């Protein structure tokens, strides 16, 4: 059981995102666009690429980490859209 915990860390609410894909998204062709929202902070943005989506997620997770350690976030947060 302890081995299972090590491989599967808990799913935290601070790490929850909603990703909504546009109807013309073609993942198999590398075309991805839509809207992403970090549920706890309610910060959201539109994205036109996987890189942009992942950058937003990384920024929000960094915000979670710096907030929990009391440090200032290194990047400004994306505004609500």
- Among 7-11, 37-41, 59-63, the range scoring the smallest mean pLDDT is 7-11
Spatial contact of 27 and 49, defined as CB atoms under 8 Å apart: no
Report residue 8 CA to chain centroid gap: 19
Dmax over CA atoms of the chain, in Å, equals 44
| 3 confidence band (pLDDT: 50, 70, 90) | low
Query: pLDDT for 36-45, tens place per residue?
Result: 999 999 999 9
Sorted by where each begins, the domain ranges of the chain are 13-69
pLDDT category, 75, cuts 50, 70, 90? Answer: very low
Q: CA–CA separation, 17 vs 41, rounded Å?
A: 10
- The alpha carbon dihedral of 32, 33, 39, 40 has a sign of positive
Q: What span, in angstroms and rounded, lies between the C-alpha atoms of 27 and 78?
A: 24
State percent of the chain over pLDDT 70: 77
């Amino acid at each position: 059981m302890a081995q299972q915990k090590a491989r599967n860390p808990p799913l935290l609410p601070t790490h929850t995102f909603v990703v909504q894909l546009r109807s013309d998204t073609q993942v198999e062709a590398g075309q991805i666009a839509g809207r992403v929202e970090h549920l706890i902070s309610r910060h959201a943005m539109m994205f036109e690429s996987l890189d942009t989506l992942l950058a937003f997620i990384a920024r929000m997770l960094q915000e979670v980490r710096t907030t929990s350690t009391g440090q200032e976030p290194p990047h400004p947060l994306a505004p609500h859209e």
